A and B are shown apart, each in its own frame.
Chain A
């Protein structure tokens, strides 16, 4: 096992660790003691040896269960690995493990001496900015300077859009909040097999931050779905599934638990993340491209609300139309229910809606295989129904006959 992931370290392995520090419950983490200050400082400056030295010399706090008999190590399973949980302060322990009545103190040396199973991994301060997941031996090796957490290339070839520029900068600066913020408010590309979700090997789901990176990694002709990253996180299949952003040399890898944590992060960070993004104007004309099954939910099921990614009507010519059979058009009167989504520079502005009421007069437009468009239905709020609109071609034919 060679997993070494350290706090805000840069690069591929480090990315998942930094993301673990998404700090849902404690958005303003601060070191609780000198050990944690030293670990944070070491990570900020990329000094791996200083990080492991601080850890090797630290008093570690082990969660203890208030039960009779010999104390057991508290472990958690993540994927194939079993981790022993340790913390570098009582504050870190209390913030992560509610309801743990007691703790014991130890050191890395003592732990190594009594380590019950070589396959067990060490989880230090999980989900804080100074977290580490590693085999216990790595601590001593790292303190001796034998573990080099070499920064990886952030993005080969450099960023090609605003999202990648933000990710690149966040990785280089080990800025965890910026990394998560850029991802969670971004739009990414997901290879599909015609469905939105393509089955993936080894319970891994891949997404890309630009068409260029997708083209370099997936076979030509693979359909790519453009999705709000937050939508992916919201629909995540579970903690057993891993996410890889830009598989390859510059991959960022996240555990399923981390992906699910992004949703919580977004709830806390939505104001900050969306602060510089455009709001919907008063009575703005918006559109939502729909695949046929969602269009039928309106036409047949008389669905009265709108969920998902939406755009300005004036941007419709720039919206990707793959798999789109209909376009929903309406006037959006309330901006507060439209959550801005960060998109690449060249992409049309986008917002995310959750069950927002369709106003009277909203219309559905059919997009033919030849690109020809025609209005097919309008929403009547009196009846709470979508009423068919006359087909102009059939009207003309009827007039001719």
Chain B
């Protein structure tokens, strides 16, 4: 499954999870594919020239969680990992990331789900 928050590249007609790397773009697949090398269990990588990809961009999925604007960071069967700010449980002296919630929730509890796509060049 492609991550809902991160770089993506369209190459040879297929959209891949990607990471920009200077003149290169790293393409990632979850299944074996021609030209892709196994880099760790369940992850295959192919290096291509940035000039060869048809589209390189950042994809971000946003949603509303109990009235809070959230960014969807990951997904698995029926659930979504979301990050959102909820200041209600905050108290003084707590750490710098307090108020930031990052939790797995039922995908059904997300409302107003939207995908944003920005080209990076």
Q: Give residues in A with beta carbon < 8 Å to B.
A: 193, 195-200, 234-238, 260, 263, 267, 282-283, 291, 293-294, 305, 307-308, 331, 333-337, 354-357, 359-361, 381-384
Contacts and interface: CB of A to CB of B under 8 A. Distances in A.
B39 interface: yes
A294 B96 contact: yes
B121 to A, nearest CB: 6
B87 A260 contact: yes
Interface residues of B, number: 40
Q: Which of A195, A305, A331, A333 has the most CB of B within 10 A?
A: A333
Given A360-B21, A381-B19, A333 B120 contact: yes
Interface of B: 3, 5-7, 19-22, 26, 28, 39-40, 43, 45, 56-58, 60, 69, 71, 73, 83, 85, 87-88, 90-100, 116, 118, 120-121
Contacts of B97: 294, 307
Contacts of B71: 354-355
A190 to B, nearest CB: 11
B96 to A, nearest CB: 5
B90 A237 contact: yes
B91 A237 contact: yes
B58 A354 contact: no
Contacts of B60: 337
Contacts of B120: 282, 333-334
Contacts of A360: 19-21, 26
Given A234-B85, A263-B85, A337-B58, A355 B73 contact: yes
* Interface of chain B, main secondary structure: strand
B91 A359 contact: no
Contact of A357 (B6, B91, B95, B118): B6
Contacts of B58: 333-334, 336-337, 356-357
Contact of B69 (A197, A267, A331): A267
B37 to A, nearest CB: 9
Nearest to B96: A196
Contacts of A334: 7, 57-58, 118, 120
B87 A197 contact: no
Nearest to B90: A237
Given A236-B90, A334-B118, A359-B20, 7 more contacts: A197-B92, A283-B20, A294-B97, A305-B5, A337-B60, A357-B3, A357-B19
14 contacts: A198-B93, A234-B100, A236-B99, A237-B90, A238-B88, A260-B87, A283-B20, A307-B83, A336-B116, A337-B58, A355-B71, A382-B26, A382-B39, A382-B40
A382 B87 contact: no
Contacts of A308: 96
B92 A198 contact: yes
A355 B62 CA distance: 12
B22 to A, nearest CB: 7
Contact of B118 (A236, A307, A337): A337
B21 A197 contact: no
A195 B95 CA distance: 7
Contacts of B98: 197, 235
A264 B56 CA distance: 31
B83 A381 contact: no
Most buried by B among A335, A355, A356: A355
Given A357-B6, A359-B7, A360-B26, A291 B96 contact: yes
A236 B98 CA distance: 10
A395 B39 CA distance: 28
A70 to B, nearest CB: 34
Given A267-B69, A334-B120, A357 B5 contact: yes
Contact of A236 (B56, B87, B93, B95): B87
A260 B21 CA distance: 39
Contacts of B85: 234-235, 263
Q: Which of B20, B94, B98 has the most chain A CB within a 10 Å cutoff? A: B20
Nearest to A194: B93
B20 A355 contact: no
B20 A331 contact: yes
A235 B26 contact: no
Nearest to B85: A234
Nearest to A256: B87
Nearest to A233: B87
Q: Which 4 A-B pairs have the closest CB atoms?
A: A235-B99, A334-B58, A381-B19, A357-B6
Contacts of A361: 21-22
A359 B95 contact: no
Contacts of B45: 382
